[in-house]
Structure 1
Amino acid sequence: MPRWLSMALFLVPVTTLLLVANVYLYRRLVRDVSTSVAARRAGFVLFAGGFIGSLGARLLGARLDTEAARATGLLLLIWMGLVLYLLLFTLVLDVGRRVVTRVRKAPEPPSPARRAFLARGVAAGATVAGAAVSTYGTWRAFHPPEVLDIPVRLPRLPKALEGFTLVQLSDIHIGGVLQRRFVDEMVARVNALKPDLIAVTGDLVDGSVPELGRYVAGFGALKARHGAYFITGNHDYYSGVDAWVAFVQGLGITVLRNRAVSIGDAGASFDLLGVDDWSAWKLGEPGYDLDAAMRGLRPDRASVLLAHQPSNFDEVARRDVGLQISGHTHGGQMFPGNLLGDLVWGEQNAGLSRMGNSHIYVSRGCGFVGPPMRVAAPPEIARIILLPG
């Protein structure tokens, strides 16, 4: 599938939703509650400008390279999230009012003044609720990711490696909003954990090397006893995967593209596998190749697979890989996205689950994509503690 078609299949429904949401909210929160021509014009400019600007900010991405442009872009992306929550609460209050009316079998308010009063009440309630949730979500997105300790019993892990700590960073999405300061704070936080190994499981960037290299360079300071490893995610493909692979390797981070390495020493070790992103084929790239990654592995050794998406875990479990570590889902990122993610991915939307003797851990990720908000799916740094199975 051509890249432009893949992007269109994503952007067209998102743009349509945002357009419908802005039109609906202008009608319900401005036109239906105010008779002032000036207020209606101001509301129209606000919603029309917010719609056009938020799309522009999303498309410009990493090219927001001045502080003024970055601040403007950030506000427009926040507007995108605010619109979604205003829409959610307005619909909930509208539907709730209609349900109550039907249950009570009461006629619609006959008085225009009464109807206007109820319309203003719904508008005020939705605005306050939407603004409150959006404010919290924005604060949570920029607040440092919480560190989660995840003990996992890994089959065939040597006793000498009990307590081995693998710190996972996923879905960081460095771009026009998250830049060098965010990177440096995260690196300091990870290094303070003194991990045995660091795994960056894809979607590192949203932009090209010339645009973002000066920010991503901060990951060169990651320190772990057995090194740092990187695998590709779908957004890394959108951003120029070969250039980014070369850049990351130049930072001293090992890139695993459908291959495996041994972690440990002659006395105690396990196999660490890494595959390219599952959906790379949609962009005409070779992508995910589990056969290549597992070629030559011994079945009596412990194994850990780094794979950006939770996809194909049933096959991974069938091949008796002890643990898969993934991201991609963001855990839904923003309510009700977390509930939709549960419907799509099931227990593999976020957290630890298992199939047979194999485990999978899916991180909610460190950053965000689209609106800079996290609601009911906080960002995380996962510290996976390996124990003999």
Structure 2
Amino acid sequence: MLRFLIPIVILLILELYTFFSVRALTTNKFILIGFWLVTIIVYGIFFYQMSLTQREGRFSLSTGYAIALALTFVVPKLFIFAILFIEDILRFFASLFNYFQHNGMTVGEAIPSRRKFISQLALGIAAVPFAGFLYGIFKGRYDYRVIKHTMYFDDLPKAFDGYTLTQISDIHSGSFDNKEKIEYAVDLINEQKSDVVLFTGDIVNAVAEEMNPWIDTFKRIEARDGAYSVLGNHDYGYYAYNSQEEIDENHRKMEEVHKAIGFDLLLNEKRTLERNGEKLHILGVENWGASRHFPKRGSLRKATEGVVDGEFNILLSHDPSHFDYKEMEIREHEKKDPEVVTDEPNILNFEKKIQLTLSGHTHGMQFGIEIPFLNFKWSPVKYRYPRWAGLYEEAGKYLHVNRGFGVLAFPGRVGIWPEITVITLKKRQKVA
């Protein structure tokens, strides 16, 4: 009960502060009554849709828009609260000063009234995130960015010098609602003319059927050496089905979806590309991440069977926590859930060298700030996934985390735009 009571109290405080801000600007009873009517309607829609989602076990478009409405409505009020709360602290000390400075003054007379200017300032500042959320919902979610990296490796086979990869991740087709924009994004993928396309999981929100209306669109993806894919945590059907039979049937349908698109689905497997007698391995593992809430079916050992020292490996692993998770963290989860798999090594310490790992999963939380020319990026998701977007390197091994193609839950993106990644592999020239 307490876990519900605390959010309700917080929301009530936000609404009261916003109401006081509005009331400081107008006493029109229709506006003030309208404020509370709109508040009740917004929360009513949100809680109704969330109850449907809980019963059905999957996110629908209507649920996404209910979440968007609530966030657009609530987040700006955090700014109003912050400004007015600071003013209230100052008013409190001013009240104490007035009360003790002026004999005979009542408590009510000692309290300064709220200044109209402060309320105007609070509402003006709140308009910025309000506009940002509206942009993110209607424009930002389809504002695809092509991000290019050139990576140098000492052990890249010479035949693959200049080889190009296009990575996409987290399609989440169940959240699509604009065919024209999706077709534009697929055309943008093909415009890169990469040698290979690599997809790193979460093609749907919950069930394989979500992808059916979009198969003809995504089957247009082209690359000389084909397209390879893996599954993400949302692709197994665990969010929609309870019985193992239904989960297995969803898995069968998921394999059919990847095949229909032309994606070669790697289930703890490898594919070997050859040029001029030299090899490059594309490895793909099923979902594996540090969180105990997500399926753990990935196996580096199975995916690297037949791989020998000195060969160049590119790994597709949906969850970036697979790269360097700490075993102690998993052990703590194991105490709560005996089914957690603990014998899967992390990529960083795996006995076979994996030069480049491609992941997704985080979406950059679909919210954050990035200033490329300052090399600055921030999103709240960094406190859950320290490696959450872009390139990372440790001990000569690289991880790239794609910001995602689609959206989940909140149908928008604010500051963290959908990403199509293009990576060019280059052989580092030895200095004589």
Is TM-score (shorter-chain normalized) higher than 0.5? Answer: yes
Q: Does 1:254 align with 2:264?
A: yes
Contact 2:165–2:423 (CA under 8 A) maintained in structure 1 = yes
In 1, Cα distance between the equivalents of 2:115 and 2:173? 46
Deviates more, 1:37-46 or 1:370-379: 37-46
Which moved further from structure 2: 26-35 or 143-152? 26-35
Counterpart AA for 2:288: W
1:344 aligns with 2:384: yes
The Cα offsets for residues 259-305 of structure 1, whole Å up to 9 and x where unpaired, read as 11102345232111111111599579551211111122111110001
Asked if 2 retains the 8 angstrom alpha-carbon contact of 1:89 and 1:129, the reply is no
Query: 2: distance between equivalents of 1:332 and 1:165?
Result: 27
Which amino acid in the other structure matches residue 30 of structure 1?
Answer: F
- Cα distance 1:114–1:279, how it changes in 2: closer, same or farther (>3 A)? same
Change (3 A) 1:371 1:293: same
State the aligned residue count: 367
Counterpart in the other structure of 2:143? 144
Partners of 1:304 and 1:17 in 2: CA distance: 46
Alignment of 1:74-85 (within 5 A): 76-85=66-75
Mapped to 2, the partners of 1:355 and 1:95 lie a distance apart of 44
Offset of 1:44 from its aligned partner? 2.6
The answer to which of 365-374 and 91-100 deviates more is: 91-100
Matching of residue 28 in structure 1 with residue 61 in structure 2: no
CA distance in 1, matches of 2:60, 2:383: 35
Contact 2:204 2:210 in 1 (8 A): no
Aligned-partner SS, 1:305: strand
* Preserved contact between residue 261 and residue 272 of structure 1 (Cα < 8 Å): yes
Separation in structure 2 between the aligned mates of residue 334 and residue 284 of structure 1, nearest angstrom? 22
Matched letter for residue 42 of structure 1: G
Partner in structure 2 of residue 48 of structure 1: 40
Relative to structure 1, is the Cα distance of residues 307 and 52 closer, same or farther in structure 2, using a 3 angstrom cutoff? farther
- Tell me the SS of whatever aligns to 1:129: helix
Report how far residue 184 of structure 1 moved: 1.6
Please list the CA deviations of residues 57-91 of structure 1 after superposition, one character each: whole Å capped at 9, or x if unmatched: 56387755xxxxx6xx6753431331343133223
Report whether the alignment pairs 1:388 with 2:391.
no
Superposition RMSD on alpha carbons, in Å? 3.3
**CA distance 1:364–1:371, shift in 2 (3 Å):** same
SS at match of 2:314: strand
Q: Deviations over 1:153-193 (max 9, x none)?
A: 24522112111111011122222444533332211111111
- Cα offset for 1:332? 3.0
Match of 1:93 among 83, 89, 107: 83
Contact 2:95–2:112 at 8 Å: present in 1 too?
no
* Residues 180 and 143 of structure 1, relative CA distance in 2, 3 Å threshold: closer
Letter of the structure 2 residue corresponding to residue 220 of structure 1? K
Q: Matched residue of 2:273: which SS?
A: strand
The structure-2 alpha-carbon separation of the partners of 1:179 and 1:376, relative to structure 1 and needing over 3 Å to count, comes to closer
**Contact 1:263/1:271, CA 8 A, preserved across alignment:** yes
Deviation at 1:327, TM superposition (A): 0.9
Q: Which amino acid aligns with 1:300?
A: G
TM-score of the pair, normalised by structure 2? 0.74
TM-score of the aligned structures, taking structure 1 as reference length: 0.81
Structure 2 counterparts to residues 210-359 of structure 1, below 5 A? 210-237=209-236, 238=239, 240-265=250-275, 267-279=277-289, 287-314=297-324, 315-319=346-350, 320-335=353-368, 338-346=378-386, 348-359=387-398
CA distance in 2, matches of 1:16, 1:137: 30
After superposition, residues 101-140 of structure 1 pair within 5 angstroms as 106-107=94-95, 114-115=113-114, 117=116, 120-121=119-120, 123-140=122-139
The answer (yes or no) to whether the contact 2:175–2:408 under 8 Å persists in 1 is: no
The alpha carbon displacement at 1:36 in A equals 5.2
1:193-246 Cα distance to aligned partner (Å, 9 max, x none) = 111111111122124333441124421111001111111111222364442222
Q: Structure 1 residues 124 and 37 mapped into 2: Cα distance closer, same or farther (>3 Å)?
A: same
**CA apart distance, 1:308:** 0.7
Amino acid at match of 1:28: Y
Aligned to 1:7: none
C-alpha distance in 2 between matches for 1:18 and 1:228: 45
5+ residue gaps, structure 2, are 99-108, 241-249, 325-345, 370-376
Query: Match for 2:81: what amino acid?
Result: L
Instruction: Name the CA shift for 1:95/1:197 in 2 (closer, same or farther; >3 Å).
Output: farther
More helix as a share of residues: 1
What secondary structure does 2:164 align onto?
strand
Q: Which has the larger radius of gyration?
A: 2
- Counterparts of 2:44 and 2:75, CA distance in 1: 18
**Closer/same/farther in 2, CA of residues 246 and 52 from structure 1, 3 Å limit:** farther
How far apart, in 2, do the equivalents of 1:218 and 1:62 lie? 22
Report the Cα distance in structure 1 between the residues aligned to 2:360 and 2:5, rounded to whole angstroms: 27
Bigger mean CA deviation after superposition, 174-183 or 262-271: 174-183
Q: Would you say the 8 A contact 1:262–1:270 is kept in 2?
A: yes
Distance 1:25 1:36, change over 3 A: farther
Of the three residues 411, 414, 423, the one matched with 1:375 is 414
2:294, 2:191 → 1: CA distance?
A: 40
